[in-house]
Structure 1
């Protein structure tokens, strides 16, 4: 296997791993909020923070991809 293919496979695997981690974090937060009987306003704040974290991670990946494809990074 070529080194370039191996790097691409590692990058895809790492992104899938992070997606799985975000999913499991979301499931754990859902369970804690459900068992703790948190008010609706608090739930919205928690989910907003989690969503912003995921969005930042996705934006970072897209910026990195575009920079590397244009030769900047």
Structure 2
């Protein structure tokens, strides 16, 4: 029975791994910005870039789900 859901479990595990990686990257960036006394504009730029990276990754996943659901890939 577990073998039938192996692809689903693998996909969920990989998504959780990437979410954890993004979280730890965010925490590391927050620490570096705090210790480096970065001005507010620089902080906003850094967080914007990180947010856009996460958004792109999530968008890619949604597009992949939609394409797989409609049979395009």
TM class, shorter-chain normalised? Answer: over 0.9
Distance 2:27 2:13 in 1: 21
Distance 2:72 2:5 in 1: 20
Displacement of 1:18: 0.1
Distance 1:47 1:61 in 2: 21
Distance 2:38 2:50 in 1: 16
Q: What root-mean-square deviation, in Å, do the aligned CA atoms of Structure 1 and Structure 2 show? A: 1.0
State the 4+ residue runs in structure 1 displaced beyond 6 angstroms: none
Provide the residue aligned with 1:11 in structure 2. Answer: 11
Distance 1:69 1:34 in 2: 44
Displacement of 1:39: 0.1
Distance 2:61 2:45 in 1: 25
Distance 1:50 1:60 in 2: 16
* Structure with more relative contact order (C-alpha pairs < 8 Å, separation 6 or more): 2
Displacement of 1:4: 4.5
Q: Which blocks of at least 5 consecutive residues in structure 1 are unaligned?
A: none
